[in-house]
Amino acid sequence: MAQDLISPEDHQSVGVIVQEVDISAAETLDRCEGLEMDAVAVNEEGIPYFFKGDHLFKGFHGKAELSNGSFAELDDHHHLGHVDAAFRMHYENSTDHDHMYFFLDNKVFSYFQHKLEEDNPKDISEVFPGIPDHLDAAVECPKSECGEDSVIFFKGDDIFHFNVKTKAVDMKEYKSMPNCTSAFRFLENYYCFHGEMFSKFDPKTGDVHGRYPKEARDFFMRCPRFSMDFSNHTEREQCSHVHLDAIAADMDGNVFSFRGHHFVHMKGNQSVEGDTIENAFKELHSEVNAVFIYDKHIYMMKGDGVFVYKIGEPHTHLEGYPKPMMVELGIEGPVDAAFVMGKSDVAHVIKGQTMYDVDMMATPRVATNERVIPIVTKVDAAMYHDGGLVIVVGNHLYRFDSPEALVAAPVLPEQHLVTELLGCNH
């Protein structure tokens, strides 16, 4: 009805107004203010997408953007108020492997590589017979974890296990879990989001083990301090799924890991302590790019600057720092990772896919021996640990015997979870 009141010559100006409203909405949506997400799904590259209204957040930090910027047809077929549920079909034996499914009211949209599949959207009842409309949440569950390749659907108190192969539906009762407003599988764990909180659950039984619910922003988003009780940052930083900014270890077995405004200090096998970067390294404030330890000093790189502290209780900021990275290390910043192998005098600095060597005994210091790391596009953090090299990529870490082994490796070795290294026990 309202459209009839707009003359053809007004359509262009109306489009401008709508665009301005959308931009404004993207600016005002702030995941750190506490949002109940409508749906969560991990894309084919392992990046979580958090949906809110007609916007989505990609990854663990960054601003909201319109959902139809990545999945254009969602708005073409529906006035996109919000996505009810979403998941990625990740079963290699399925013809729909790596397809992403979005549920809106009574329709389901199937995308492959961000392109809508032919003849979509379809009725939910056609693609997933026995599954109701207007869902609350959905999550994939492979055979290794659910007995059969399945999708778990949530609507109110009702839980539906949908067998992908036979299309049989098995009703479940999850007594210990709250109603999910969204759910997703990440690093082989299952998470039910309810409001601003989440609980980790067993997909077969719905059992919730451990101290839940927990605040979603503590573990799935890079946000400054906001929880009611944050006298202790340790558990949050040990178990957060947000990727590390930097990590470093000294010869005494101390490990320092940095993420956003916080860091964790692991004192060998004795204790683990979490704190804010600003409290321990007040001149730095927060968010480092790379860190390495050399000669009982910790070198912390942020942007184009290098901060140096003498390790101790407290850490002592050296006079004259920060210095430009080109002056201190002979390389233009920012960089992604850095490390020193044991008692070596060479700092290895990684920038993109390139690794350089810096002789710390030289004057002036110069970045030399440039070589390419072919098996990754970006290293988030790196350190010398337990006699070898550890690199961190996203939520996983990989071990190599030496920097030369990293450069020569044809494929990534066995992956391990970063949370395991940091002592997360759940």
pLDDT 10s digits, 132-183: 999 999 999 999 899 999 999 999 999 999 999 999 999 988 888 889 999 9
Q: Residue 150 has what pLDDT?
A: 94
Query: How far lies 316's CA from each of 261, 296, 375, in Å?
Result: 19, 11, 38
Q: Is residue 172 classed as helix, strand or coil in its secondary structure?
A: strand
Q: Which of 162, 196, 220 is the last residue of a domain?
A: 220
Same domain assignment for residues 86 and 29 = yes
Same domain assignment for residues 117 and 86 = yes
Query: How far lies 306's CA from each of 289, 331, 333, in Å?
Result: 10, 11, 9
Rounded Cα distance, 138 and 157, in Å: 13
The number of angstroms, rounded, from the C-alpha of 295 to the middle of its chain's C-alpha atoms is 33
Exposed, middle or buried, 64 (CB in 10 Å: 0-12/13-18/19+)? buried
Same domain assignment for residues 245 and 119 = no
Q: Which of 186, 220, 254 is the last residue of a domain?
A: 220
Q: Residues 389, 400: contact at Cβ < 8 Å?
A: yes
Same domain assignment for residues 213 and 317 = no
Does the residue 323 lie in any domain?
Answer: yes
User: Tens digits of per-residue pLDDT, 73-132?
Assistant: 776 655 556 899 999 988 777 777 889 999 999 999 999 988 899 999 999 999 999 999
Which own/partner contact pairs does 357-366 have at CB distance under 8 Å and 24+ positions apart?
358/329, 358/330, 358/331, 360/294, 360/295, 364/327, 364/330, 365/328, 365/329, 365/330, 366/330
Instruction: Please say if the pLDDT value at position 354 is more than 60.
Output: yes
Cis link prior to 121 (omega < 30° from 0)?
Answer: yes
For 220, the enclosing helix (H) or strand (E) is helix 216-220
Instruction: Please say if the pLDDT value at position 15 is more than 50.
Output: no
Instruction: Please say if the pLDDT value at position 314 is more than 70.
Output: yes
* Type of residue numbered 288: V
Say how many C-beta atoms besides its own lie within 10 A of residue 377's C-beta: 9
Over residues 248-271, mean pLDDT: 84
pTM over 0.75: no
Q: Residue 135 has what pLDDT?
A: 96
Does the residue 375 lie in any domain?
Answer: yes
- Tokens (6 digits) for 153: 């659907």
Over residues 387-408, mean pLDDT: 94
Residue for token digits 């296990």? 161
Same domain assignment for residues 407 and 381 = yes
Rg (CA), the chain: 24
Does the residue 352 lie in any domain?
Answer: yes
Does the residue 226 lie in any domain?
Answer: no
What's the angle, vertex CA 214, arms to CA 211 and CA 215, rounded to 5?
A: 165
Same domain assignment for residues 305 and 376 = yes
Rounded Cα distance, 13 and 39, in Å: 33
Residue for token digits 């778990």? 152
Which residue has better confidence, 228 or 423?
A: 423
* Type of residue numbered 335: V
Same domain assignment for residues 34 and 146 = yes
Does the residue 229 lie in any domain?
Answer: no
Contacts for 9 with CB less than 8 Å, ≥ 6 apart: none
Confidence at 240, pLDDT banded by 50, 70, 90: confident
Does the residue 378 lie in any domain?
Answer: yes
Same domain assignment for residues 174 and 296 = no
Does the residue 227 lie in any domain?
Answer: no
Same domain assignment for residues 292 and 174 = no
User: Tens digits of per-residue pLDDT, 192-208?
Assistant: 999 888 999 999 999 98
Which residue has better confidence, 333 or 211?
A: 333
Q: Residues 318, 309: contact at Cβ < 8 Å?
A: yes
Same domain assignment for residues 148 and 9 = yes
Rounded Cα distance, 327 and 249, in Å: 24
Give me the CATH number covering residue 415.
2.110.10.10
Same domain assignment for residues 394 and 334 = yes
Does the residue 228 lie in any domain?
Answer: no
Rounded Cα distance, 155 and 245, in Å: 38
Instruction: Please say if the pLDDT value at position 421 is more than 80.
Output: yes
Q: Which of 220, 251, 281 is the last residue of a domain?
A: 220
Over residues 353-378, mean pLDDT: 96
Q: What is the mean pLDDT of the chain?
A: 85
Same domain assignment for residues 73 and 136 = yes
Name the residue range of residue 189's domain.
2-220
Number of domains in the chain: 2
